């Protein structure tokens, strides 16, 4: 890749020393001012929370020193007691045993304090978002995202052109009212050629991904709390996740969560990297409801299908892999012949766990607006640090991996854009690349 994407690896190499394992306490301590300044891009004031983190870390270290001293005294006294019993000095030995009992009580108190301090420290660390990459522009929200690429011709539609929710009703493809009856708003029922088109897209996306070297997996749709915390959905997105309270499990908001958690607490062999995974799953999100055309039809759902890419790589390769993922998604959209653009997200719109994200948006001609269909992100060590995913580098030292993920692709808005952009007076013309998967060329 050339141009703006090709520069990223060079940029990252300059920052590698400062960015490695950045949200470990030792790195916060060494780079506090730099991280505070970088996090301002997110409109996140980190000074107070960093001060609290470093204060708790000092308390933890001090408490640990006290605990170690007590344990050392206890061990020494135990040896003395044993020797006194051997020498017949029973009275002296019993006097020392009383001291060891007090030391054990003191150690229990300090151990409890250590546990509480460590929990408080971890809770604070969970509240700190990833430090954005230097190339992330400052900004408040999506209005400040930067368009860096655009491709595809926007078709000229006839005056009879319809938005996708009307096309879905006209050709009996998707029943939103039936989904509302069964479950509620945001849970549509796909029917006939609509269901077949959705299945065709899933198969096509998976085939493209496996052809590119990704291994296909099928993963659980429910995850435990530890998995949610590992990839950063918890506690940040807790209110947006469906929680099965009886079993304390969460419906996945994206298959990134189960895929990345496959390697939680693993020490990987360097020769196994990179690890490339893809899967198809339904996804579930309790996003706050709103009204208007911008959320009508397939524009925003609580249950939707998505094909995902996840990469687990060595740190020095992660921005090259990010470029490759962007090119891969571009190739799919080019084959579908759909107009799209790529945005570099600003700090205010950047996801909690991401260091750098590119959003793909598809142009909806009938709605005259852009629809997000994919996010491709590099999390660097943020998730790996939570998940404790490491590998042994060439020096045999344990090092955190970098993790990346990308939608390839999210189905609802792809279908929305496809229906709208491919409509004609005769019906909806299926993109040529999908015909072998659908078994039909037209929806009439």
Distance (Å, rounded) from C-alpha 18 to C-alpha 22? 7
Q: DSSP assignment of 299-337, as one string?
A: SS-SEEEEEEEEEEE-GGGHHHHHHHHHHHHHHHHHHHT
β-strand pairing of 390-392 with 267-268 = parallel
* Closest-CA residue to 326 (of 287, 374, 363): 374
Binding residues for L-serine: 254, 285, 308, 405
Which positions ≥6 away from 68 have C-beta within 8 Å? none
Token pair recorded at residue 393: 């580098």
CB 433 within 8 Å of CB 208: no
CB 343 within 8 Å of CB 361: yes
Distance (Å, rounded) from C-alpha 348 to C-alpha 360? 17
Q: DSSP assignment of 359-402, as one string?
A: EEEEEETTTTEEEEEEEEEEEETHHHHHHT-EEE-TTS-EEE-E
Which positions ≥6 away from 2 have C-beta within 8 Å? none
Which residue is associated with the tokens 């959003």? 359
* Cα→Cα distances 411→92, 266, 344, 367, 368, Å: 78, 32, 21, 17, 19
Distance of CA 155 to the CA centre of its chain: 34
β-strand pairing of 267-268 with 249-251 = unpaired
Binding residues for ATP: 285-287, 372-375
Distance (Å, rounded) from C-alpha 120 to C-alpha 122? 5
- Angle between helical axes of 8-19 and 318-336 (0-180°, round to 10): 140
Which residue is associated with the tokens 């799919």? 332
DSSP helix/strand/coil, 255 = coil
Binding residues: 254, 285-287, 308, 372-375, 405
In this structure, what are the phi and psi dihedrals at residue 431, rounded to the nearest 5 degrees? Answer: -55, 140
Distance (Å, rounded) from C-alpha 357 to C-alpha 41? 14
φ/ψ bin of 150: left (φ > 0), alpha (ψ from -120 to 50), beta (otherwise)? beta
How many beta carbons lie within 10 A of that of residue 265, not counting itself? 11
């Amino acid at each position: 890749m050339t141009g703006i994407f090709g520069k990223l690896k060079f940029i990252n190499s300059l920052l590698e020393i400062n960015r490695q394992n950045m949200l470990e306490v030792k790195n916060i301590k060494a780079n506090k001012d730099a991280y505070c300044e970088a996090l301002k891009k997110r409109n996140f004031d980190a000074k107070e929370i960093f001060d609290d983190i470093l204060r708790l870390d000092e308390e933890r270290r001090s408490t640990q020193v006290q605990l170690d001293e007590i344990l050392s005294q206890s061990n020494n006294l135990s040896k003395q007691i044993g020797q006194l019993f051997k020498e017949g000095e029973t009275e002296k030995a019993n006097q020392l045993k009383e001291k060891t009992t007090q030391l054990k009580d003191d150690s229990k108190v300090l151990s409890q304090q250590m546990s509480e301090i460590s929990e408080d420290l971890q809770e604070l660390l969970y509240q700190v978002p990833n430090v954005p990459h230097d190339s992330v522009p400052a900004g408040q929200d999506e209005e400040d995202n930067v368009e860096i690429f655009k491709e595809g011709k926007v078709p000229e539609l006839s005056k009879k052109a319809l938005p996708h929710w009307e096309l879905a009703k006209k050709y009996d493809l998707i029943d939103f009212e039936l989904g509302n009856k069964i479950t509620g708003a945001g849970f549509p029922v796909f029917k006939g050629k609509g269901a077949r088109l959705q299945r065709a897209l899933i198969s096509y996306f998976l085939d493209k991904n496996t052809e590119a070297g990704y291994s296909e997996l099928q993963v659980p749709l429910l995850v435990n709390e530890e998995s949610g915390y590992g990839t950063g959905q918890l506690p940040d997105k807790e209110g947006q996740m469906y929680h099965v309270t009886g079993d304390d499990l969460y419906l996945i908001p994206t298959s990134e969560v189960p895929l990345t958690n496959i390697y939680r607490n693993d020490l990987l062999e360097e020769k196994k990297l990179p690890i490339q995974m893809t899967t198809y799953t339904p996804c579930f999100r309790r996003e706050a409801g709103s009204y208007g055309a911008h959320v009508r039809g397939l524009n925003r759902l609580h249950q939707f299908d998505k094909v995902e890419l996840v990469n687990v790589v060595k740190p020095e390769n992660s921005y090259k892999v990010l470029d490759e993922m962007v090119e891969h998604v571009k190739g799919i959209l080019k084959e579908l012949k759909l107009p799209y653009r790529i945005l570099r997200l600003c700090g205010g719109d950047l996801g909690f766990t991401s260091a750098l994200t590119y959003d793909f948006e598809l142009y909806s001609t009938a709605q005259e607006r852009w629809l997000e269909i994919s996010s491709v992100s590099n999390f660097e060590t943020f998730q790996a640090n939570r998940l404790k995913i490491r590998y042994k580098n060439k020096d045999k030292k344990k090092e955190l991996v970098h993790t990346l993920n990308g939608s390839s692709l999210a189905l609802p808005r792809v279908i929305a854009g496809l229906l709208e952009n491919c409509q004609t007076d005769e019906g909806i013309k299926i993109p040529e690349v999908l015909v072998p998967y659908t078994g039909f060329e037209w929806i009439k």
